[in-house]
Amino acid sequence: MKYKRILLKLSGEALAGNKNFGFDEEVLLSFANQVKELHDNGVQVAIVIGGGNIFRGLSGQNHGVDRATGDTMGMLATIMNGLALQNFIESVGVPTRLLTSISMPEVAEPYIRRRAIRHLEKGRIVIFSGGTGMPYFTTDSGGAIRAIEIHADILAKGTKVDGIYDKDPVKYPDAVKYEKISFEKAIVDNLRVMDATALSLCRENNMPIIVFNALEKGNMMRMVNGEKIGTVVTNEK
């Protein structure tokens, strides 16, 4: 096992599957079963979930909602997604704790770093919701911060594509996939791995990132075993 403790970053859009809004039960169950496989093999798993399948802060500006308010609405969307994911993971028999950066004790535990690490050590899946609890930060940045705080071995970004390409593989059939790139190249070439803040945080704290297709069954296990899937981003040039 190459990675013993991971921070899994999942986009809200991934939870929607082929729908434009809301949840796809098959996708949620697939994620839950893959997380269970990791758990059963002794991997400590923390998850940060986005909210784009329900509401995205930036999109609110197009409808008269100021950025700070829109981002707060987006944070609440991530908590809804966290509750849904917790429900499906627990339905396959894996203990889960939902932590939120926004205080709502009737719904979830408040985020406390030491408590989160203790949950992981006890074999519980930890879901971080509410982003950073502050506007103007994406859930990518929240994922980077939490990965660094819990001393994860890697930040694993699960997406709908199988890695990072030099250009959009959907639009350009000749797009070239990278097996490994540096943070510097990802930032300079604007490869949209994550936002610049998240990439800078990971670069400064030497937190490697892997971008992989989380929708393909078994990929999470392949990833923690160190198999060559997706694209790895490190400080190595």
Question: Domain of 214: which CATH number?
Answer: 3.40.1160.10
On average, the pLDDT of the chain sits at 93
Separation CA 176–CA 213 (nearest Å): 16
pLDDT by residue (tens digit) across 149-191? 999 999 999 988 899 999 888 889 899 999 999 999 999 998 8
pLDDT at 60 over 70: no
Say what percent of the chain tops pLDDT 90.
79
Structural domain harbouring 162: 5-234
* Torsion sign over Cα 136, 111, 28, 125: positive
Q: What is the domain count for the chain?
A: 1
